[in-house]
Amino acid sequence: QSALTQPASVSGSPGQSITVSCTGTSSDVAGYNYVSWYQQHPGKAPKLMIYEVSNRPSGVSDRFSGSKSGNAASLTISGLQAEDEADYYCVSYSSSNTPSVFGTGTRVTVL
């Protein structure tokens, strides 16, 4: 099972909006509404930011939103803040022999 494809890096200025893409296949992203997004700061454990494509866990800022179209999911961060600088990973359920498929990861930089 191949990893989901994410851009290596995305950057933006404070206050701007950025979008991180996550591209999969019909066996994962396109086939199920079980895409989640995680934020990871250096030396820290990942933190769930979005689940089931577009739902935010309690305590996660509403500046974070998720969506999906076909085989591509997206994470949008609006009103970019310095604290948003981190690595972001998408994960999807997959009907392949690997039920949890991770994305390649995206480094978000706040300029």
Partner 1 sequence: QVQLQESGPGLVKPSQTLSLTCTVSGGSITNGGYFWSWIRQHPGKGLEWIGYIYFDGGTRYNPSLKSQLSISIDTSKNQFSLTLSSVTAADTAVYYCARLGAYSSPKYAMDVWGQGTTLTVSS
Using CB under 8 A as the criterion, which residues of the chain lie in contact with partner 1 when the complex forms? 1, 3, 32, 34, 36, 38, 40, 45-48, 51-52, 55, 57, 89, 91-93, 97-105
Residue 55: C-alpha distances to residues 14, 44, 49, 79 (Å): 24, 23, 8, 19
Please state the closest distance from residue 2 (CB atom) to partner 1, in A: 12
CB nearer to partner 1: give 19 or 32.
32
How far apart CA 64 and CA 58 sit, in angstroms, is: 12
Please state the closest distance from residue 74 (CB atom) to partner 1, in A: 16
CB 77 within 8 A of CB 15: no
Please state the closest distance from residue 91 (CB atom) to partner 1, in A: 7
Please state the closest distance from residue 73 (CB atom) to partner 1, in A: 13
CB nearer to partner 1: give 75 or 101.
101
How far apart CA 22 and CA 56 sit, in angstroms, is: 17
Phi/psi at 83 (5° precision): -70, -10
